[in-house]
Homo-oligomer: A and B are copies of this chain.
């Protein structure tokens, strides 16, 4: 509606239109209480008429901060949606926006590169989502003035980290088996480069060894049902196999289908636990007991950790978000 000659409407334009000074316009925006109502109205009308919007660059230049948190996606997988959702919601709540960059498919990216790129963008702090190992993990030094949080199950010497307690979740599942009279637990892994698979395997090993049980050779899967099915065929022939822990629900389902095809029943002959609790979405009346991680919570924690550390970027903490065992009927109690 209004005349639109200049490209961008500045506070000065508003000030002239409203017949007040530049500073008064600034005050109307940032400290409205300190401006007389009649003046405020004039300014508001002028802003409306001219279609004024604060200039982000000028504002942050003056303030020395952006109100944005950087997010680097090294890897974007299924569970990442909920995590991003958590990050975004928490950011929203605390008045931050997100600035996002991503490792390009097929390209390598080190933490140092990611940090260098991010630090040229509008960010007050940053979150790295790191689900696979990266070359310079141990040697990486974060910019001293930019709080950096890494979402990863590994511990970092200098940066704060946040992670699902993958290891604890796996231990919990194993103990659930063992407490119900199972003498051993077989394991089907995910893709071997995935840290979550590695950690789940580690937790499984630890739980067995804690009870003096020698862990059997783990079966290698690739997250998908077919690899679980293949593993299930192998396991069906092992007479001592009464309990199987699969590194995700899809493979767990593959295992169950293979067992069934081999004439075995779950849970009567073999008990199974998976991870992620998502099978119920795809399988009606799903019976699979599963370890569920709270990815959303993970994102929330990561963002809060960054925001909390904005003033003290070199602080360091380690947060573990515990998993939950969602019980259904795929585990038999052998003591009964």
Contacts and interface: CB of A to CB of B under 8 A. Distances in A.
Interface of A: 4, 7-8, 51, 53-58, 60-61, 64, 66, 68, 71, 73, 76-78, 80-81, 84-85, 88-89, 91-93, 97-102, 104-105, 116, 119-122, 143-145, 223-226, 228-229, 249-250, 253-254, 257-258, 279-286
Nearest to A78: B81
A99 B121 CA distance: 10
- Counting every copy of the chain, the complex holds 2
23 contacts: A55-B61, A56-B66, A57-B57, A57-B60, A61-B61, A68-B121, A76-B81, A81-B81, A84-B84, A92-B104, A122-B122, A224-B280, A225-B280, A225-B282, A225-B283, A226-B284, A226-B285, A229-B285, A250-B281, A250-B282, A253-B284, A257-B283, A258-B284
A119 B282 contact: no
Contact of A121 (B77, B88, B89, B97): B97
B257 A4 contact: no
Contact of A76 (B85, B93, B283): B85
A257 B104 CA distance: 40
Contact of A224 (B8, B98, B281): B281
A28 to B, nearest CB: 15
Nearest to A71: B100
A329 to B, nearest CB: 16
A122 B284 contact: no
Kindly name the residue among A60, A119, A250, A283 whose own CB sees the greatest number of chain B CB atoms within 10 A.
Answer: A283
A258 B284 CA distance: 9
